[in-house]
């Protein structure tokens, strides 16, 4: 299949035939995890990212690898809790070097998460927390075992330890990038065109990817893991409208505060509320000059949409002072970061409970929904790739090193607090 007859603009591929088995577009945890799985399975797959790896949703994640416990905080095991409960074990295997993706060089911030509540609310759920299904996943701590900042006399509540880790997501992304750097490129995709010999919608598909630097890549299958960017990429394909998966956005405004580590100790905890969403989820991250940043998710982030940064930080101050009255936050600096979560559209606008993929004519659109669910999403993608019966390296010229394509290798994104220009 000579490329010179395939180029709509009359150009020819640079550096010979840039053919691959599979091209993944989008360099968050979804794309990176899928790349690692496909390469391990023997497919010649490459990843293309328009900006930097993890620059949107993945990099803004709090790094919580939970098994659904926080979804059960309303006193019952929801479908979300059941669909994600095996994820901590799968991630742990990867961190230990015996899993599907090698994460042995990734940094673990904490081996445990904590759940705290006031006395009255905890009392209502005591029986549920003591149930067989929950007691195997969490441990009620006595006052002697309290960790900072709950080991102070002003704390008057209950503390539980969850056997679920918190990871430095930047290090996770960097670990995967390092292993596959020769096939991870920075490339702004302008459009994707079908150049198949046959009009058959299920076999012998070939797509040509056009990047803004005039590079052309031909792939037997395309996997879209670009979050909100999936919309534009899908629009460039001539699929019938009914075949294009619909997407929804659920924005967040994530507060953050920083101070000396003596003021803000390391903590990774969910504050129990009346709903399945924690009132607040706090993760702590180290900064230079012995400073710590607390990054706040949960209800405070979801309800902050539409507020200014000043309004959101004021709400966060009030909420923290109410939830942790024994602490002094007067020395802290504050900010907030807007995050736009992209995910498959639900009929009622609710949050999806599990990863979703949509396959049409060799193009797979994938959303992991939650960071912890990336392995489940990759399972579904690989199942679809096997169904497509793609021939490994049958028409691909192996990209052996970074000079094989005239594109820049993609770099890992900054952390959310590194992107903040102004602290209040």
Using one digit for the tens of pLDDT, what is the confidence trace for 57-92? 999 999 999 876 655 555 555 555 556 778 899 999
User: What is the tens place of the pLDDT at every residue in 174-209?
Assistant: 999 999 999 999 999 988 998 887 665 556 788 999
Distance CA 27, CA 48 (A): 7
C-alpha distances in Å from residue 229, one per residue of 2, 24, 366, 393: 30, 13, 12, 28
Higher pLDDT among residues 81 and 287, named by residue: 287
Could you give the CA distance from residue 53 to residue 39 in angstroms, rounded to a whole number? 18
Name the average pLDDT for the chain.
Answer: 84
**pLDDT tops 90 at residue 242:** no
293-323 pLDDT tens trace = 999 999 999 999 999 999 999 999 999 999 9
Query: Does pLDDT of 125 surpass 80?
Result: no
The per-residue pLDDT for 402 is 40
Phi-psi region of 143 (alpha: psi -120 to 50; beta: other; left: phi over 0): alpha
Which one has a higher pLDDT value, 24 or 406? 24
- The pTM assigned to this predicted structure is 0.88
pLDDT for 13 beyond 50: no
Angle at 168 between CA 165 and CA 173, to 5 degrees: 120
> Can you list the domains of the chain with their CATH numbers?
3-57+172-246+350-415 (3.50.50.60), 109-167+249-344 (3.30.9.10)
Q: What's the rounded Cα separation, in Å, for the pair 370 and 390? A: 28
The answer, yes or no, to whether residue 42 has pLDDT greater than 50, is yes
State how beta strands 19-25 and 166-167 pair: unpaired
For 46, the enclosing helix (H) or strand (E) is: strand 45-49
Taking the mean position of all CA atoms in its chain, how far away is CA 338? 15
Q: Residue 64's pLDDT is what?
A: 93
Residue 365: is its pLDDT beyond 90? yes
Q: What percent of the chain has pLDDT over 70?
A: 82
Contact 208, 395 (CB under 8 A): no
Handedness of CA 121, 124, 128, 130 (dihedral sign): positive
Is 3's pLDDT higher than 50? Answer: no
Q: Is the pLDDT of residue 224 over 70?
A: yes
pLDDT of residue 397: 46
Which tens digits make up the pLDDT trace of 103-118? 999 999 999 999 898 7
Q: Band the pLDDT of 24: cuts 50, 70, 90.
A: very high
pLDDT for the residue numbered 215: 85
């Amino acid at each position: 299949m000579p490329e010179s007859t395939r180029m709509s603009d009359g150009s020819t591929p640079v550096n010979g035939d840039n053919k691959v088995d599979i091209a993944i577009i989008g360099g968050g945890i979804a794309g990176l995890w899928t790349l690692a799985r496909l390469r391990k399975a023997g497919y010649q797959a490459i990843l293309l990212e328009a900006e930097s790896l993890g620059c949107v949703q993945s990099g803004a994640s709090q790094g919580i690898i939970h098994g659904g416990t926080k979804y059960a905080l309303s006193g019952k095991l929801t479908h979300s809790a059941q669909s994600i409960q095996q994820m901590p074990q799968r991630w742990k295997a990867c961190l230990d070097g015996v899993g599907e993706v090698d994460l042995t060089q990734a940094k673990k911030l904490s081996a445990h998460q904590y759940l705290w509540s006031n006395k009255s609310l905890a009392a209502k759920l005591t029986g549920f927390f003591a149930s067989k299904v929950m007691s195997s996943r969490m441990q009620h701590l006595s006052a002697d075992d309290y960790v900072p900042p709950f080991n102070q006399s002003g704390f008057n509540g209950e503390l539980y330890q969850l056997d679920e880790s918190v990871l430095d997501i930047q290090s996770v992304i960097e670990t995967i990038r390092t292993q596959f750097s020769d096939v991870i490129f920075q490339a702004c995709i302008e459009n994707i065109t079908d150049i198949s010999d046959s009009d058959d919608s299920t076999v012998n598909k070939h797509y040509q990817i056009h990047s803004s630097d005039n590079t052309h890549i031909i792939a037997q299958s395309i996997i879209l893991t670009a979050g909100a960017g999936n919309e534009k990429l899908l629009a460039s394909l001539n699929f019938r409208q009914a075949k294009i998966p619909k997407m929804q956005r659920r924005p967040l405004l994530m507060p953050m505060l920083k101070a000396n580590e003596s003021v803000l100790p390391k903590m990774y905890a969910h504050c129990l509320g009346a709903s399945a969403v924690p009132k607040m989820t706090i993760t702590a991250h180290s900064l230079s000059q012995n400073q710590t940043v607390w990054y706040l998710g949960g209800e405070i982030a979801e309800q902050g949409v539409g507020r200014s940064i000043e309004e959101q930080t004021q709400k966060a101050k009030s909420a923290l002072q109410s939830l942790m009255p024994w602490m002094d936050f007067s020395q802290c600096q504050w900010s907030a970061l807007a995050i736009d979560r992209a995910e498959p559209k639900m009929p009622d606008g609710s949050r999806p409970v599990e990863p979703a993929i949509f396959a049409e004519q060799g193009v797979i659109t994938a959303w992991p929904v939650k960071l912890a669910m990336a392995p489940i999403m990759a399972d579904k993608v690989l199942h679809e790739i096997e169904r497509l019966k793609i021939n490994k390296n049958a028409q691909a010229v192996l990209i052996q090193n970074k000079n094989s394509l005239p594109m820049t290798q993609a770099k890992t994104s900054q952390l959310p607090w590194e992107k903040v220009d102004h602290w209040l």
